[in-house]
Amino acid sequence: MIARLAATSPADYLQKLLACRTSTNGTFGLNVEFNDFDEALRRIPRLLDTLSPVTYIYLDRQDRLVQAAFMAKAVQTVGRSAKEIASEQTADGGRSAEKRPPKAARYDRDLISQWLGRIERQRLEWTRWFDRARVVPFVVTYENLITKPAGVVESIVELIGAQSDVPQKLRVPLAERPSDRISVQWARRFEHEIANGIQESESGAPNAVSGSDTRIGESDTAHIFDRYERLTGTAEPAAAKRLRRRYDAIIGRNRKLFKNARVLDVRSGEGYWALASLDAGAAHVTGVDSQGKVLAAARAYFGKMGIDSKSYQFDERKILEALSSFEPGAFDVILCREISPDPHLFFRSLQHLRPKHVVMDIRMAGRKEPTLVLRVRQRELEQKTGERSLALTGVPNHQLIERLCEHFGFRCRVVDWHTMGISDWTGVSDYKRNGRRTYVLDRITSHDPSTPLEAHVWRGKQGARHAR
């Protein structure tokens, strides 16, 4: 079009486009996705002034999971880009894509999740822009558009004040509801797998299974790390996959515990899991970490995402110091991915806080008897000097966790990664060999600690200190 109109600049192109595409009643319309809209505003700063007055009609879809399944199916068609498919779906409700079924299209849970994330991000970006611009758009739902097209067109005609125009007879492609049976089937299968987990059948194909700890609502079917991909935008594929798998075990299978809960995220770091807790329905999250730099990054990201500041806070203190300062009953759920070098003191702090549940995802040591391996790791200091300090961490074994739970009044259950339908353990091989485990601890309300725990310390290979 730029060549056809002999435009010399983006602004000149817009003026010439308006001249040739504005209707006789003075109306000019365009269909745009947010990324293109945002780019156009940057390239043509006075775009909205030129188009003024502007009426915004926002096309939403109630069942976005079916839309994501449709897109995941359609992009598998050779030679068609995602953008072409999106335009086609908007233009005719997807009927033409249904007439041309994709070659070798197969159900792909990850691809559906990625598309659901893209759809949610587009929706979020539009919502934020409308809020900033103080615009209240006229909302049209996709479901109404394909079932009652005449009514939707009439409402838009009234919206733009074109009722007195001479009507023209037009064939509306959306008059017939498109058949999207496969997309609906994939969407329902995706919901079932998210809620119940998946397992490999004898043939190697994933089957949905029951018995998970929770059910996930329709608006919560995508991974947090898909919908907020900036958290992992620079992560290597294996690292990103690891985060997704860990989300399934830590949040996905325990989602009901986080609903309306007050959560304490121990050693919260960059805020991945604090954000995941809020996304799962937590009422408030307190993140504790001794490293100010990572907490500053978390605060900045939460602010950039527009997350309500009343729903979270970050506390820069040492873990045990912070745990001892909170009042008993202040938290419903405590989330931790590392325990202190003194597990007895750590569990005593948990007992003091009296949470309903503790979700732990921690490294595990071997040995048959209750054992704690003390590991030394280097970490960069926050000062600009680039100096490094030594941090001591405790790595317990399963028997020690059981013993501590028994002593301090928690019922211990293991989230079994081997029932999560994982066929490719890339990035999570430590969970496969039980080098790391996920636990859910439920507080026993009527508990009286018995005899004190005994502790033994000895020096092992290469000077590593072990405690039993």
What is the per-residue pLDDT across 387-444, written as a single tens digit (0 to 9) for each?
A: 555 566 678 888 889 889 988 999 999 988 988 878 888 889 999 998 999 999 999 8
Please say whether the beta carbons of 354 and 443 come within 8 A. Answer: yes
Residue 37, domain CATH: 3.40.50.300
**What pLDDT score does 326 carry?**
92
- What is the secondary structure of 162-202 as a DSSP string? -TTSPP-----GGGSPPP-HHHHHHHHHHHHHHHH-EEE-T
Q: What integer best gives the mean pLDDT of the chain?
A: 77
Transcribe 18-63 into DSSP letters. HHHH--TTS-------HHHHHHHHHHSTTHHHHH-S---EEEE-S-
For residue 71, being part of any structural domain is answered with yes
pLDDT band at 375 (very low <50, low <70, confident <90, very high): low
| Per-residue pLDDT at 203 | 38
**How many whole angstroms separate alpha carbon 354 and alpha carbon 331?**
8
| pLDDT given for residue 196 in this prediction | 57
Residue 9 lies in a domain: no
pLDDT at 76: 79
pLDDT at 28: 92
Residue 350 forms part of a structural domain: yes
**What distance in Å separates the CA atoms of residue 98 and residue 267, rounded to the nearest whole number?**
49
pLDDT tens, position by position, 315-336: 999 888 888 899 999 999 999 9
The answer to whether the beta carbons of residues 343 and 404 sit under 8 Å apart is yes
The residues near 19 (Cβ < 8 Å, ≥ 6 apart) are none
Q: Which of 223, 241, 245, 234 is nearest to 270 (CA)?
A: 234
Q: What pLDDT does 225 receive?
A: 63
Query: So what's the pLDDT on residue 209?
Result: 32
Q: Position 89: which residue type?
A: Q
Res. 204 pLDDT band, cuts 50 70 90: very low
Give just the sign of the alpha carbon dihedral 211, 217, 223, 225.
negative
Tell me: do 265 and 374 sit in the same domain.
yes
- How sure is the predictor about 265, in pLDDT bands with cuts at 50, 70 and 90? very high
Domain identity same for 124 and 248: no
Binned at pLDDT 50, 70 and 90, residue 174 comes out as low
Instruction: Quote the pLDDT of residue 395.
Output: 83
CA–CA dist 255, 280 (Å, integer): 6
> Which is higher by pLDDT, 179 or 404?
404
Asked if omega into 452 is within 30° of 0 (cis), the reply is no
The reply to whether 228 falls in a domain is no
Is residue 221 included in any domain, yes or no?
A: no
Do 383 and 276 fall within a single domain?
yes
Helix/strand/coil percent split, the chain, to 5: 45, 15, 40
pTM above the 0.85 mark? Answer: no
Answer yes or no: do 184 and 278 share one domain. no
Give me the CATH number covering residue 435: 3.40.50.150
CB contact set of 202 (below 8 Å; sequence gap of 6+): none
pLDDT at 372: 72
Of the candidates 274, 457, 278, the one whose C-alpha atom is nearest the C-alpha of residue 371 is 457
For the ranges 198-207, 226-235, 299-308, the lowest mean pLDDT is seen at 198-207
Mean pLDDT lowest for which of 109-113, 375-379, 407-411? 375-379
- Count CA within 13 A, CB hemisphere, residue 218: 9
Dist. CA 457–CA 462, nearest whole Å: 15
pLDDT above 70: residue 16: yes
In the predicted model, is pLDDT for residue 205 greater than 50? no
Expressed as residue numbers, the domain containing 111 is 20-165+175-188
Say yes or no: 103 and 245 in one domain: no
Count CA within 13 A, CB hemisphere, residue 40: 16
Helix boundaries (H) for 32-162: 34-43, 47-51, 64-74, 82-92, 95-99, 109-133, 142-147, 149-159
Identify whether 28 is part of a domain.
Answer: yes
Q: Which band of pLDDT confidence, cut at 50, 70 and 90, is reported for residue 279?
A: confident
| Least confident among 42-46, 258-262, 336-340 | 336-340
